[in-house]
């Protein structure tokens, strides 16, 4: 598995259940609020700075989530996606990234088909059973609790891109 992780040049993440814990709070104005993990955010922006492609593909929709991800340097944020597999193929061609170099972290059935075509299928510890069954990597952390940080850190360390000096300078 380590050799497969070392080949990753592109991370793809679902939002609800991966970058969040999958819970939403419905506000009086109808806006759905989500909680995101700051350690995931740190790892996401570091992966971008280190030259990895980081894409987010979600069936949900949130201007606030999109704004947060753009602030982290992620330019490929796709919301309200009905066919994640088709979009992964499209982005693969558009950005000339082989499917075998992609890691897709998802947590539930809408992610299944997209996860089945990439080099590394990954999921949080609390993912659906069917998603766990196709995952090469099952995180120790739950969705929204650092699972994205966990897999990014592992890949960056395998490729000597997780440097203590970078973290000191980031302060």
pTM of the model: 0.93
| Strands, sheet with 76-78, edge to edge from the N-terminal-most edge strand | 76-78, 53-57, 10-13, 102-105, 120-123, 137-138
* pLDDT for the residue 2: 75
Domain presence at residue 86: yes
Domain presence at residue 96: yes
* pLDDT for the residue 165: 66
* pLDDT for the residue 81: 98
In contact, 66 and 79? CB cutoff 8 Å: yes
Domain presence at residue 150: yes
User: Which domain range does residue 45 map to?
Assistant: 2-165
* pLDDT for the residue 21: 94
> Mind spelling out the 3-state secondary structure of 14-52?
CHHHHHECCCCEECCCCCEECCECHHHHHHHHHHHHCCC
Please tell me the total count of domains within the chain: 1
Max Cα separation, the chain?
A: 49
| CA distance linking residue 102 with residue 169, whole number of Å | 28
The pLDDT tens digits along the chain (171 residues) read 778 899 999 999 999 999 999 988 898 988 888 999 999 999 999 999 999 999 999 999 999 999 999 999 999 999 999 999 999 999 999 999 999 999 999 999 999 999 999 999 999 999 999 999 999 999 999 999 999 999 999 999 999 999 866 655 555
* pLDDT for the residue 31: 82
CATH number at residue 118: 3.40.50.1000
| CA distance linking residue 35 with residue 37, whole number of Å | 7
Domain presence at residue 125: yes
How many CB atoms are located within 10 Å of the residue 86 CB?
12
For β-strands 25-26 and 32-33, DSSP reports them as antiparallel
* pLDDT for the residue 167: 57
Which SS3 state, helix, strand or coil, does residue 138 take? strand
**Cα 57 from chain centroid (whole Å):** 8
Domain presence at residue 170: no
* pLDDT for the residue 89: 97
* pLDDT for the residue 170: 54
Tallying the residues shown for the chain, one arrives at: 171
Domain presence at residue 171: no
């Amino acid at each position: 598995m380590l050799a497969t992780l070392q080949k990753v040049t592109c991370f793809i993440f679902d939002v609800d259940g991966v970058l969040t814990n999958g819970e939403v709070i419905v506000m009086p104005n109808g806006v759905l609020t989500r909680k995101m993990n700051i350690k995931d955010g740190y790892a996401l922006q570091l992966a971008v700075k280190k030259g990895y492609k980081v894409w987010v593909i979600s069936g949900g929709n949130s201007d606030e989530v999109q704004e947060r991800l753009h602030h982290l340097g992620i330019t490929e944020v796709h919301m309200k996606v009905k066919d994640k597999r088709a979009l992964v193929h499209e982005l693969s061609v558009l950005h000339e990234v082989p499917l075998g170099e992609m890691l897709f972290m998802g947590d539930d059935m809408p992610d299944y088909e997209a996860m089945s075509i990439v080099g590394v299928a990954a999921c949080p510890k609390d993912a659906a059973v069917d998603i766990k069954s196709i995952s090469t990597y099952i995180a120790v952390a739950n969705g929204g609790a650092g699972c994205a940080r966990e897999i990014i850190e592992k890949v960056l360390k395998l490729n000597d891109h997780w440097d203590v000096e970078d973290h000191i300078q980031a302060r």
